[in-house]
Amino acid sequence: MNKILLIDDNSTDNYINKLIIEKANITNTIIVQTSPVEALNYLKNVKGDFPEFIFLDIKMPEMDGFDFLKAYDEFEDDKKRNIHIIMLTSSHNMSDVEKANENPYVKKYLIKPLDALKLNDTLEAVFS
């Protein structure tokens, strides 16, 4: 993989998630955005390829993960074609799980924290 995008307002979660992904040695670049608004701006202005994976939190101030998905839907289909969005959240709320599973962009719903086993299972599920 060339790029992975992490979207989470929690700096500790971003640090742990980045560390887990770096140790797995599965990507050249990890981009961290602390808000969905920043992430959307990054994606609007990205030069070259979009990230192949986006790990997206749900509960964030200003804009939540589901609002991000609504805005993301406006991007051109050719840019979204090879992106896999993984909801990575602390929410055990069944309505969040159902809403995520109903979204065509969300490939998997994970409960924090990310660890090597969850990352490997996610990669296997997406690429099998």
* Segments of the chain with pLDDT less than 70: none
Contact 86, 110 (CB under 8 A): yes
The per-residue pLDDT for 110 is 97
The per-residue pLDDT for 11 is 96
The per-residue pLDDT for 84 is 96
The per-residue pLDDT for 8 is 98
Q: Where are the domains of the chain?
A: 15-30+52-90+99-114
Per-residue pLDDT tens over the stretch 48-64: 888 999 999 999 999 99
Closest CA to 83 of 65, 98, 104: 104
Tell the CATH superfamily of the 15-30+52-90+99-114 domain: Response regulator (3.40.50.2300)
The per-residue pLDDT for 47 is 83
Tokens of 119: 């990352």
The per-residue pLDDT for 58 is 97
The per-residue pLDDT for 78 is 85
Tokens of 116: 């090597």
